[in-house]
């Protein structure tokens, strides 16, 4: 957790939840006490602080067992639900797995369910697949696959983002395939989520190994692609000026999905012709950069080894794909900067494009008030894939830096009231923010081992005046992505490598 929190993972321990609740409230009261003037007010806050220290530890989660089932190899599966005492809000659910009455594994999230139990590949091993959902817009489903017999073990964890997973035998060979959406291209080239291309894939499962099945992928994707091309009126004769006209974004998506269809099914040459036949470009360089960005993204797919094999990509070809990017994007070893300027707010974010799983990395976020004096303002970073994060604040120039974890409440611009948040937030806040001054925070975080990328939402706000004269400046003030509080955000993606 961040420095002001106890060092524990919230979704793994009830006591951690209670402790975090206690620490957040006592830290908040203590901060108010320090900045409060006036003896009588300090007496009142002192009493509140004592009350919180004495009684807040009594806050707890109410546990309820939802289901219990007996599995092969003397294994018991128990699903429990946890609610904050005195509220109807479901904090999280957990599957506990016991063998001989001893806990051997657990699986937690906002919601969890059992997806499949049986022998997927007919090799005599019974598999159990559990599904979790974190809540939030377009995020996040994770699947855990366990072998139950002859020996219990975790086979694989699959974070699939907004994709769901189904397991069925679609070719009649007696073995089941895994069907999913490879949504690596969400928000590609600043497209909205709904108009981002995605590839439906069929995956063979064999003793814990997943391998893309090109032929079955072609069969399950063909109808979806044909319908999308038809409804968006994409034809070779009706070409699209690449991304110049935003009204054409759905047509661009259909064309890009056609490109992916041929790449994922081993027909690279036809895929290249798609870029010529569907699009016109301002110049040849734009086409080269588009192809390079598409292939760069595909190489992050968990199915890249199969894609590389079925398309006969040579090392020289793969290296040549990177050439246009060297001139258009920073090296992965250099921390790029993203800047946002709207109204009178300027935000700059320094972050790594790529981090190693299990290693620490830093993000530096700076916000400048480029307008007149403001009563107050804040810079908010949120992480929709995480309920908590391992890390700390390295340095800051804000009045306060506060990490928020579920089930903490924050203000929602949609509901016009405080709501329970579902994922991790860190916010820098400044009172009496003077004109043309900047504030920053530098945070250190640990990259997860079970995700291929980290999503970071960024936004800033300045508040001037009071009552009917109150005015808010917000950056960004519109976007294709919104956070759990209903505010528009700029979303960054950090690749995680093994």
16 pLDDT exceeds 70?
Answer: no
What does the mean pLDDT of the chain come to? 80
166-175, 215-224, 303-312: least confident range: 215-224
448 pLDDT exceeds 70?
Answer: yes
Per the document, the length of the chain is 498
Q: What is the pLDDT averaged over residues 168-197?
A: 82
266 pLDDT exceeds 90?
Answer: yes
Task: Tell me the CATH number of domain 337-497, given options 3.30.70.360, 1.10.10.2160, 2.60.40.10, 3.40.720.10.
Answer: 2.60.40.10
Judge contact between 446 and 362, C-beta under 8 A. no
DSSP 248: G
pLDDT for position 51? 59
Q: What is the pLDDT averaged over residues 274-303?
A: 81
Grade residue 498 by pLDDT with cuts at 50, 70 and 90: confident
Sequential DSSP letters for 133-157? E--STT--EEEEEEEEESS-EEEEE
Grade residue 53 by pLDDT with cuts at 50, 70 and 90: low
More confident residue, 154 or 38: 154
Domain ranges of the chain: 10-59, 337-497
Structure tokens at 343: 């109204």
* 342 SS3 class: strand
What residue spans of 201-354 are helical by DSSP H?
Answer: 214-231, 249-264, 268-278, 284-298, 304-310, 315-321, 323-328
């Amino acid at each position: 957790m961040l420095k002001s929190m106890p060092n524990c993972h919230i979704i793994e321990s009830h006591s951690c939840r209670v402790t975090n609740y206690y620490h957040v409230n006592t830290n908040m009261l203590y901060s108010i006490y320090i900045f409060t003037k006036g003896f009588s007010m300090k007496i009142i806050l002192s009493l509140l602080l004592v009350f919180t220290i004495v009684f807040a530890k009594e806050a707890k989660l109410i546990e309820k067992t939802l289901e219990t089932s007996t599995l092969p190899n003397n294994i018991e599966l128990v699903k429990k639900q946890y609610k904050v005492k005195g509220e109807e809000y479901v904090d999280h659910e957990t599957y506990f797995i016991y063998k001989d009455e001893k806990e051997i594994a657990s699986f937690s999230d906002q919601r969890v369910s059992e997806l499949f139990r049986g022998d997927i590949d007919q090799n005599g091993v019974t598999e159990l697949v559990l599904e979790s959902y974190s809540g939030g817009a377009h995020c996040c489903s994770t699947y855990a696959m366990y072998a139950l017999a002859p020996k219990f073990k975790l086979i694989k964890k699959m974070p699939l983002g907004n994709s769901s997973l189904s397991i069925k035998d679609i070719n009649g060979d007696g073995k089941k395939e895994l069907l999913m959406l490879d949504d690596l291209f969400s928000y590609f080239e600043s497209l909205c989520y709904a108009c981002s291309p995605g590839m439906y894939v069929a995956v063979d499962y064999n003793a814990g190994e997943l391998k893309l099945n090109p032929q079955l992928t072609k069969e399950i994707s063909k109808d979806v692609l044909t319908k999308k091309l038809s409804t968006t009126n994409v034809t070779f004769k009706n070409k699209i000026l690449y991304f110049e006209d935003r009204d054409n974004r759905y047509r661009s998506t259909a064309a890009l999905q056609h490109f992916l269809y041929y790449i994922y099914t081993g027909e690279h040459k036809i895929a290249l012709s798609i870029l010529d036949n569907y699009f016109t470009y301002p110049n040849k360089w734009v086409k080269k950069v588009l192809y390079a960005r598409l292939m760069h993204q595909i190489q992050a797919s968990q199915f890249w080894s199969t894609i590389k094999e079925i398309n006969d990509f040579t090392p020289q070809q793969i290296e040549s794909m990177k050439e246009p990017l060297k001139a258009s994007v920073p090296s992965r070893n250099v921390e790029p900067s993203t800047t946002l300027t709207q109204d009178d707010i300027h935000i700059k974010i320094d972050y790594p494009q790529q981090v190693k799983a299990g290693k620490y990395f830093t993000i530096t976020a700076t916000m400048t008030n480029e307008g007149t004096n403001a009563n107050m303002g804040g810079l908010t970073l949120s992480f929709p894939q995480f309920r908590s994060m391992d890390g700390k604040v390295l340095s800051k120039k804000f009045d306060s830096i506060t990490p928020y974890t579920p089930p903490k409440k924050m203000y929602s611009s949609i509901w016009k009231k405080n709501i329970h948040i579902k994922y991790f937030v860190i916010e820098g806040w400044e009172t009496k923010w003077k004109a043309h001054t900047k504030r920053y925070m530098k945070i250190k975080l640990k990259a997860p081992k079970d995700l291929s990328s980290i999503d970071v939402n960024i936004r800033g706000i300045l508040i001037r005046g009071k009552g009917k004269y109150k005015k808010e400046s917000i950056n960004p003030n519109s976007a294709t992505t919104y956070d759990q509080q209903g505010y528009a955000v700029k979303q960054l993606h950090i690749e995680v490598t093994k």
